[in-house]
Amino acid sequence: MENQTQMLIVMIAYMVFIILIGFYQGRKVKTGSDFAIADKKLPGWVAALSERATGESSWALLGLPGAAYATGLLEIWTAIGCVTGILFAWILLAWRLRDAAEKYKVDTFTDYIAKSHGEVGKWIRVVGSSTIVFFFFFYVGAQFIGGGKTLENLFGIQKIYGMLLVVGLVIPYTIYGGFRSVTYTDVVQAIIMIITLIIAPIAGIIYLSNMPEGLVYASNISEALSNAGDSYSTFTGGAVLQEGSPLEGTLNNFFPNMRNVVSGLGTGIIIAGAFSWFFGYLGGQPQLSMRFMAITDAREAKKARNIGVIWTIIAYIGALMIGWIGIAIFGPKGLADQETVMPEVLTTIFHPVIAGLLITGVLAAIISTANSLLILSSTELSENIIKPLRKGKLDSHTSLLTSRIVTAILSIIALVLAYYSPSDLIYTIVGYVWAGIGSTFSVVILLTLFWKRYHGIAAIITIISGLLFTIIWISTGMDKIITSRLLTFIVAGVVAVLSTYLIKKRKLN
């Protein structure tokens, strides 16, 4: 009980600090553009740390360590896919999106696509914003679930009350300060996250080496993975293609009595599925691309790139190692919920005060992404759908008030959806969004930036096809065979190219 009290005091102090920063920055917000994109005047270091905190969320501190705990070395392919995608985005896309945002004077992600394809800009705004808002309800919900899990694990709070507490912490300053408050609080949270992901693996290795034999599952990561079996200790997952699985059954239909072929193809598909997170980072995650667009100038964009790349490499190594350290401490079946491995490891190896501070990194990740997604969704909805429907141009006060009201309403809807979500697994929920939004819009962004022939009608068809394919593929259970993160990108890409060649550029309105 004393340990819980000490951790709670540390976490409360941290959250008060974050809230104060949020409200302080919110005082500078005077217009709708300030609320939506900080008037495109973010310093590079702020944009980089905010983008990384937002991009990693509960995924990197709960989902990825949990997956590493559950699958061992196989999860390296997920990390490689993510890191490669992030590096690609920072090196090749970030400065281009910043320049494009300045050129077109845009305040939202969809606004950039619409102004790049002006002949059907109105329809792109409606279709693009509706798609983003629809999927982001579930993404925000995943963050609320992550917060509920963390607080339930640490303090025995029922998950629904933990989710309500996270909402109570996130919403007030997000509504007040919008994008500006969110990005500057993200900076603090990115620092806490990277400290956690550096210190925890180092301390975990020292802890294991000093523990007497028999008190932990293994004395080091290598021994833990080896003891856990081939499915943990090989990069291909060993016997990961289980007999009777949907993938195994499908491949047997195509290659009857050819077990070696089935096994090889199955392993390849599984590795490709893990790597497929790569495609969501190619400009298709609006909450990340908005950070690129908000950077104040090209010089700051270069600084942001360097910070973002270094942060990413360190963070992913740390996240994987924490999952594997969890195997060494608890054994491969020692935790009822794989996604509690991060807080379980921290509370095992650290003094409660230190553990409380580092576990705050988990809440930091959750909060930084939840508020970023809410701001993105509310600005997409208010700027591209609600405000255009109102007659006459809104003054700055009314525009800002509308954005704040929409943010509040969306947060309530996201909380309800999270409560009734059919899956509690953050990894799964984020994976769905990564396909429907990330894989689809990555195609749209890449072709908009690099292919002059690509036009607005093709962009609309790409968005709709990606949305429909993702929903159908997942709802029919086919995602268990081949991930929609990979296939949505392929399908959306094929549709984009075909519609560009087959449909002439013309006006729809």
Write the pLDDT tens digit of every residue in 415-429: 887 777 655 555 566
> Which of the listed ranges 101-110, 430-439, 454-463 does the model predict with the highest average pLDDT?
454-463
Token digits of residue 333: 């079946």
The tokens describing 449, both together, are 């930036």
Largest pairwise CA distance in the chain: 74
Confidence at residue 239, expressed as pLDDT on a 0 to 100 scale: 45
Q: How confident is the model at residue 361 (pLDDT cuts 50, 70, 90)?
A: low
Q: Identity (one letter) of the amino acid at 121?
A: G
Q: What is the Cα–Cα distance from 383 to 371, expressed in whole angstroms?
A: 18
Size of the chain, expressed as the number of residues it contains: 509
What count of other Cβ atoms lies within 10 Å of the Cβ of residue 376?
Answer: 29
End-to-end CA distance of the chain: give it in Å, rounded. 65
pLDDT value, residue 262: 39
pLDDT, tens digit (0-9, with 9 covering 90-100), for 315-347: 999 999 999 999 999 999 999 888 889 989 998
pLDDT attached to residue 425:
58
| Two tokens, residue 395 | 């003054």
Distance CA 356, CA 358 (A): 6
pLDDT of residue 136: 83
* Rounded Cα distance, 117 and 462, in Å: 13
Decide which of 188 and 324 is more confident. Answer: 324
Of 148-157, 261-270, 352-361, give the lowest mean pLDDT range: 261-270
Which residues, other chains included, contact 199 with Cβ-Cβ below 8 Å and sequence gap of 6+? 358
**Residue 258 DSSP symbol:** -
The domains located in the chain, with CATH, are 2-240+277-421 (1.20.1730.10)
Query: Rounded CA gap, 182 and 46, in Å?
Result: 11
- Confidence class for position 406, pLDDT limits 50, 70, 90: confident
Average pLDDT of span 20-49: 88
Query: Can you give the pLDDT at residue 251?
Result: 47
- pLDDT for the residue numbered 37: 86
Share above pLDDT 90 across residues of the chain, in percent, rounded to a whole number = 39
* Amino acid making up residue 146: G
Q: Is the pLDDT of residue 92 over 70?
A: yes
Q: Which of 238-252, 291-305, 462-476 has the lowest mean pLDDT?
A: 238-252
Task: Give dist(CA 53, CA 292) in Å, integer.
Answer: 14
Residue 162 has pLDDT above 90, yes or no: no
Q: Is the pLDDT of residue 304 over 60?
A: yes
Closest CA to 315 of 185, 189, 184, 141: 189
pLDDT at 234: 83
Does the pLDDT at position 296 exceed 60? yes
User: What span, in angstroms and rounded, lies between the C-alpha atoms of 490 and 428?
Assistant: 20
HSE, CB side, 13 Å, CA atoms: give it for residue 276.
27
Q: Where are the alpha helices (DSSP H) in 352-439?
A: 352-381, 387-389, 396-419, 426-433
pLDDT (tens digit per residue) in 249-289: 554 554 455 454 434 455 666 777 778 889 989 999 998 99
Q: Per residue in 75-103, is it b (16+ CB within 10 Å) or e — as a string?
A: bbbbbbbbbebbbebbeebbbebbbbbee
Report pTM.
0.84
Q: What is the mean pLDDT of the chain?
A: 84
Q: Which two tokens stand for residue 358?
A: 């580092």
Q: What local confidence, expressed as pLDDT, does residue 2 receive?
A: 66
The dihedral of CA 484, 490, 491, 492: what is its sign?
A: positive
Structure tokens at 237: 């997952």
Average pLDDT over residues 204-222: 92
Supply the pLDDT for residue 507: 57
pLDDT of 74 = 87
